[in-house]
Amino acid sequence: MRSKERELKDLISIGPAMLRDFELLGIRSVGQLAKQDPRKLYAKLGRIAKQHQDICVLDTFEAAVAQAKNPRLPVEKCQWWWWSERRNKYKEEDKGINAKNTERSGHRGHGVRKRKEKDPVRLTTADLVLLSLLAERPMHGYQANANWFGERCRTGRDFAAPGVLLSGKIGATGNVAQSV
């Protein structure tokens, strides 16, 4: 008996929004996806959508292509955030190299205050509005921004755009309930 061929919707980290993106990109099968370069998919989607794509879309493409190429990929590598952490790790390593170079040149960089582990994560009204948009339907960050500013224009209320990525706040605690 032949096993069922994997479909795009069967891949971990692939939801309705990414399935729509694959459709836009002309990707209709796991076999077709396995032949793709995630960075090229990311750039192409930006051109087709005529909007900048959230960098997490690249991470999701990385996870999807890796799964398409290797059906026995370890489950942690099937998650888009594994690829985010990997990308951020390399970015941090690059910063370390650049920091050493700037120390030698005498240039001072601007420091960023890191959140202390004991600082509680609080969701703002803006975060909760964004969560309600996401609860209505899955969407990428650029789509949420369009909805956010559309609501601002429709109601005439001057909402401030979320200054922090909501996923970063939720990721810090593990889930929404813990964050509220």
User: Exposed, middle or buried, 136 (CB in 10 Å: 0-12/13-18/19+)?
Assistant: exposed
Does 2 fall in a domain?
no
Q: What is the dihedral of CA 43, 132, 126, 122, to 10 degrees?
A: -100
Domain count across the chain: 2
Residue 149, pLDDT score: 61
Does 107 fall in a domain?
no
Query: Two tokens at 52?
Result: 């900048």
Residue partners of 170: CB distance under 8 A and separation at least 6: 121, 176, 179
Q: Are residues 76 and 130 in the same domain?
A: no
Q: Are residues 75 and 133 in the same domain?
A: no
Positions in the chain short of pLDDT 50: 1, 102, 104-113, 115, 153, 156-165, 167, 169-180
Residue 176, pLDDT score: 45
Does 135 fall in a domain?
yes
Residue 60, pLDDT score: 93
Does 111 fall in a domain?
no
122 vs 113: CA distance, rounded Å? 17
Q: Which of 45, 80, 115 delimits the end of a domain?
A: 80
Residue 105, pLDDT score: 45
Q: Which of 22, 56, 80 delimits the end of a domain?
A: 80
Residue 18, pLDDT score: 94
Does 20 fall in a domain?
yes
Range(s) of the domain holding residue 140: 125-179
Going by C-alpha positions, the residue among 148, 140, 163 that lies closest to residue 46 is 140
Residue 63, pLDDT score: 94
b/e sequence 51-86, b meaning 16+ C-beta within 10 Å: eebbebbbbbbbbbbbbbeeeeeeeeebebbbbbee
Amino acid in the structure at residue 17: A
Residue 125, pLDDT score: 72
Q: Which of 56, 80, 104 delimits the end of a domain?
A: 80
Residue 121, pLDDT score: 65
Q: Are residues 74 and 135 in the same domain?
A: no
Does 85 fall in a domain?
no
Residue 37, pLDDT score: 96
Does 54 fall in a domain?
yes
- The whole-model pTM stands at 0.53
8 vs 78: CA distance, rounded Å? 13
